[in-house]
Structure 1
């Protein structure tokens, strides 16, 4: 058991800290992350879903990605591979998390990785749910604050800053699962400390799926003067897991919770560390300068058995990753023509280096012969951005954004290897992305919005470092969106419709050279709503459709087909009932539509439908205690959470958990 490593830290968080405790207010403005002033505004000209601390804690989750199912159109496909990032789809893109379709940023530090397993891979397992103050999900490439990897959208996660609190969430579930989370915050006259820890052990509902992970996150902030704050934050994460891999169809039908006989001792090991220094200076009442520098280091190894030309073979991939980044930005609140103008502009840069070692045909984690790849990849980015919102008139409130990115990189051979693919200096790539939006509020209870935004993607994976990729331009994504928000008494409704056109898609021609050739269209409708029927009963809904069409492809037979891995619709419907004082029960239905499994669309999975139930009791008095019972997959439905050309990943069976939350 790895819990003892973090148990003393959890106890320390919950102990009184009289030396720092005080109720005196902090004089420094609370803007600590770029664009926070704009994110804090209630309304945007584009679709964004906000999840706040109370929403997060009320869901009783041990993984942040579980919360994203409440976002219209967002589907989290668990791969059944503990310690590995899940696959997340949004707006017709099917490779977020396990790929680069969605950007992930925690406290200003990007989680997407340039060369770890997949271009843009982002692992949310390094985040502690209890540490978070809010999650913002920006749908589409709408914000100038973020560049590569945000074509389907961006998920920003902000931890709690300041405050006096001590929170605990501990739960036990079937199949040997234990989750301990603790978070604490203390404010002094000039200092603020926030800490959070989590330890999870899970024996897994399939054989060979035991997993352990521990995470520590902390931030210390000091007011050097009434106008200057410096802050130091860190995150440490350790994870080990065994993986059962996928199941062929026949084995899935016979024993969906078993392990295929050809699967070897698969698993993963990960060490993740970040350190960030911030200096936030209040230049005036209307102007704030934020400066930062951060360092991320990561060691990640993975062993994975899958079919190769019909033969199940184990592969090892090891990534030693090092990132150094920094920048500054100005956040302003001013008047233009007598109307409020909120804006941000800045410059930032990072350099990411990845030592990538790949072995094919390992024998139970034992390396055989030379590696296929043993290379050092580097990627550097320089970006300048600006964004503004102008409250010109209730009927016309425009927003404007512009971002410029430049990428350079290099590839170096580290030793003998079997691959003969090019390993060259990356040709410099630059791109400018404009954004435009308009909000209008004709009535107090009705707001309309429309936006046009452009995003991009550079050549993926090792293609960036091949000679033939130097002549290609970035893949461009252009989104048009129309939406409305309605709030009437106890009813709230948000509706959006969008279209995203992808052009200049990057691929090889018959001669083997890279070129910009390919177009795809994605469109859909998204609905989010709530209705407080009575003081004791309310319902909520997140529903969306996502249609896609390959419009131009080097293989003409694929034109007209759907993008793989994107459900035709997603639904999360929840009913909350409070029959008695201090009691609440929730029933949640999750319905996932059919999706294409392969590029030819000859294989289509029909999706699935599962129901979850929770019951909570709030103990009266102080401190604040809450006991809960949660039943995942109430009907014990057998289903595949992911179906791919490799095989089937079985979803969790019925699992009952008991937990206790405390705030004191």
Structure 2
């Protein structure tokens, strides 16, 4: 970025001069600044102001705003992100996560990366960009289904500023929550430097009771963190930004309630397997606590050479997940839970079984790229290009222990049950580039390519005693793979207000070595899987830009799908990863906005998707034609917002949103323990917001889940006390208020 450009303008929203027009946003999906309306890619961008106004603080809150986005979540700390239906339940993620172009999610699968994706608070963000479809040519491994991009507010060297906010919220038949957040921006060194510090602390109310422990509202959660960023413009054309961010998300209990389930008859589940048994309750003797801690530290250096900009991004990130689970009622076979299996086999009677699972990933990244200045030409035509190299190294560890505990007082029994610890290393390197040549003023084609390789190795240690015998260490296992990726994206501006585009792109997720399983030898490594995405889109502004239309149709061929398969051993079932055939995801996505009169905005987003296996997958328990899990066939939302002037410099607003989530299916069966692919019912919900604001103060009241709907988001046919199942539902009706002040 040139030193003469105001730092705060990087990636900022481009304000629309006509207050009755649909807002336009500048994004950096292609690692350069472009209007969202001009990007030949499926991009949803939500501004920081909109995130604040709609109380959208986590990924769970974004589903209704982003076509093709779905989540699988049994609690607040473990979330599987799904874009365009790419989910087969494996341990590796198909959606990448970056903060200011810094990768923060684990690339390997050895520490359950698919459900351990960072879930950062959205406070003091410039915007969130969600890129749908493969993004691997520019963003590398794990972005084969799409990308979540957090764009932070950089320090502003031109002025002092800050803000404080506080809120309170209560869930129906549940507890109270609240939040405190703030930031401060301080320029210094005569406009050559500034520092911006943000902090947040948010409590989510609980609403699930635990009769076994005589506790109410057990599933409370706390999310707190901070971000500090220093921007320095030491000499003309040189920009240096140093940033640190850290966040902790604590959950006192999983968001699970007991349902009828099918623990006794998984192959012939009862018709009412999804029925809630005792209201919003779940009986567990042992605690089910979880902690998700994420941090990232990075240095971004830009040097403008007046024909191209050289960018270096050096970063270190880590993710730490700690879970304590009551595994007593989890089944090892139909009608046989761990409490009885472990107790009768090793201790002479039923026991409680607690599981401790800790996973850690340390991640070093280095990216060096050179990108042309806007307006560069070749043979008299505009020619934009970018090229670079990338390297990452990950160190991971996964610890799993089972503790047999006395049912009378929960003391840990001796001898110890035992556990496993797996260490892993992953290295990834890549060279990449993209060129965009304008054959005509109204027609251009972007060509992208990436060649990358990964190498991994892991080693497993076993700890005594009852499950694994004496302490032992397995031989190290390794795997290596590489791939060449490409993208082609033509776009044609039929007029200033109408653009059509196409995109052919491939995505990639690395393979890796499997966990060494006791008593089983020669478990092969699993190979990479790959996506090939075809899409065509239309973006159009109508009626003096009071109407905007964004419609995309896509078809994705998913090859060599990584799937979890169950290996039965003398100490119970273990999950290994393999490759099984393929799947297809196809659908239509839409985003529509209309400003029919000054102050009134109507918007609609949604998608229709059809995601299925194209071949039988015996390891998965899936058959050709089966739908992929946790992908709604239809999702849609409609929002109406009206803003008007009230008195002095204050404006008021009121908005309402209705959202619909269609039928989905739960995970495929694993070893006959769970019900295969249960259909989850559709649901709809609404939200209302009203507020009063000016440039300095704002006050907002809100209601979410207006009808107090029990929308089902996760289901397991076993795991509940007394051979019942468990399910997670959306948060009950919640009423709250937030006040903000800026200075």
> Shorter chain as normaliser: what TM range?
0.7 to 0.9
Equivalent pair of 1:73/1:542 in contact (CA under 8 Å): no
Question: Shift of the alpha carbon at 1:497?
Answer: 0.6
Question: Shift of the alpha carbon at 1:408?
Answer: 0.9
Alignment of 1:417-566 (within 5 A): 424-459=476-511, 462=514, 468-470=523-525, 473-489=527-543, 490-506=546-562, 516-555=579-618, 558-566=623-631
Whether 1:238 and 2:259 are equivalent positions in the alignment is: no
CA distance in 1, matches of 2:299, 2:448: 27
Number of residues of Structure 1 aligned to a counterpart in Structure 2 = 633
1:575 to 611, 618, 640: 640
**Could you say if the C-alpha distance between residues 158 and 415 of structure 1 is closer, same or farther in structure 2, counting changes exceeding 3 Å?**
same
Structure 1 gap ranges (5+): 1-23
**Could you say if the C-alpha distance between residues 494 and 460 of structure 1 is closer, same or farther in structure 2, counting changes exceeding 3 Å?**
farther
CA distance in 2, matches of 1:431, 1:461: 17
Equivalent pair of 1:27/1:226 in contact (CA under 8 Å): no
Deviations 1:299-333 (A, max 9, x none): 32111235223426542111232222212111212
2:230 matched residue in structure 1 = 220
Equivalent pair of 1:34/1:344 in contact (CA under 8 Å): no
Whether 1:317 and 2:357 are equivalent positions in the alignment is: yes
CA distance in 2, matches of 1:365, 1:158: 47
2:309 matched residue in structure 1 = 288
1:268 matched residue in structure 2 = 290
2:201 matched residue in structure 1 = 199
CA distance in 2, matches of 1:87, 1:408: 25
RMSD over aligned Cα atoms: 3.2
**Could you say if the C-alpha distance between residues 338 and 257 of structure 1 is closer, same or farther in structure 2, counting changes exceeding 3 Å?**
same
Deviations 1:609-664 (A, max 9, x none): 11111111124xxx521100010111222332323445210221111001112222
CA distance in 2, matches of 1:142, 1:332: 20
What is the SS of the residue equivalent to 1:235?
A: strand
Whether 1:256 and 2:251 are equivalent positions in the alignment is: no
Question: Shift of the alpha carbon at 1:390?
Answer: 2.6
The worse-fitting range, judged by mean Cα deviation, of 569-578 and 56-65 is 56-65
What is the SS of the residue equivalent to 1:112?
A: coil
Equivalent pair of 1:316/1:362 in contact (CA under 8 Å): no
Question: Shift of the alpha carbon at 1:558?
Answer: 0.7
**Could you say if the C-alpha distance between residues 285 and 94 of structure 1 is closer, same or farther in structure 2, counting changes exceeding 3 Å?**
same
Using the size of structure 2 for normalisation, the TM-score is 0.78
Equivalent pair of 1:240/1:269 in contact (CA under 8 Å): yes
What is the SS of the residue equivalent to 1:144?
A: helix
1:586 matched residue in structure 2 = 655
Question: Shift of the alpha carbon at 1:243?
Answer: 1.0
Question: Shift of the alpha carbon at 1:205?
Answer: 1.8
**Could you say if the C-alpha distance between residues 451 and 603 of structure 1 is closer, same or farther in structure 2, counting changes exceeding 3 Å?**
same
CA distance in 2, matches of 1:508, 1:539: 43
Equivalent pair of 1:195/1:218 in contact (CA under 8 Å): yes
The worse-fitting range, judged by mean Cα deviation, of 623-632 and 87-96 is 87-96
CA distance in 1, matches of 2:592, 2:90: 26
**Could you say if the C-alpha distance between residues 335 and 457 of structure 1 is closer, same or farther in structure 2, counting changes exceeding 3 Å?**
same
1:190 matched residue in structure 2 = 192
Question: Shift of the alpha carbon at 1:183?
Answer: 2.1
2:446 matched residue in structure 1 = 399
The worse-fitting range, judged by mean Cα deviation, of 488-497 and 547-556 is 547-556
Question: Shift of the alpha carbon at 1:463?
Answer: 5.7
Deviations 1:359-384 (A, max 9, x none): 13554695872543112111111111
CA distance in 1, matches of 2:594, 2:388: 41
2:390 matched residue in structure 1 = 348
Whether 1:377 and 2:424 are equivalent positions in the alignment is: yes
CA distance in 2, matches of 1:115, 1:42: 35
Deviations 1:241-297 (A, max 9, x none): 2114533323962333212x2452010134433221232222x21211111221223
Using the size of structure 1 for normalisation, the TM-score is 0.87
CA distance in 1, matches of 2:577, 2:91: 24
Structure 2 gap ranges (5+): 13-27, 209-216, 262-274, 339-352, 569-575, 670-675, 719-725
Alignment of 1:83-122 (within 5 A): 84-94=77-87, 100-113=93-106, 114-115=108-109, 117-122=111-116
Equivalent pair of 2:105/2:118 in contact (CA under 8 Å): no
**Could you say if the C-alpha distance between residues 645 and 112 of structure 1 is closer, same or farther in structure 2, counting changes exceeding 3 Å?**
farther
**Could you say if the C-alpha distance between residues 580 and 230 of structure 1 is closer, same or farther in structure 2, counting changes exceeding 3 Å?**
closer
**Could you say if the C-alpha distance between residues 443 and 457 of structure 1 is closer, same or farther in structure 2, counting changes exceeding 3 Å?**
same
Q: Which has the higher contact order (CA 8 A, sep 6+)?
A: 2
CA distance in 2, matches of 1:234, 1:630: 32
Equivalent pair of 2:90/2:564 in contact (CA under 8 Å): no
Question: Shift of the alpha carbon at 1:462?
Answer: 3.3
What is the SS of the residue equivalent to 1:391?
A: strand
CA distance in 1, matches of 2:622, 2:319: 41
CA distance in 1, matches of 2:57, 2:251: 16
Equivalent pair of 1:426/1:464 in contact (CA under 8 Å): no
CA distance in 1, matches of 2:96, 2:36: 21
What is the SS of the residue equivalent to 1:55?
A: helix
Deviations 1:148-173 (A, max 9, x none): 22122111111011324312332110
Larger Rg: 1 or 2?
2
Equivalent pair of 2:88/2:563 in contact (CA under 8 Å): no
**Could you say if the C-alpha distance between residues 138 and 463 of structure 1 is closer, same or farther in structure 2, counting changes exceeding 3 Å?**
farther
2:141 matched residue in structure 1 = 148
CA distance in 1, matches of 2:357, 2:138: 32
Question: Shift of the alpha carbon at 1:464?
Answer: 10
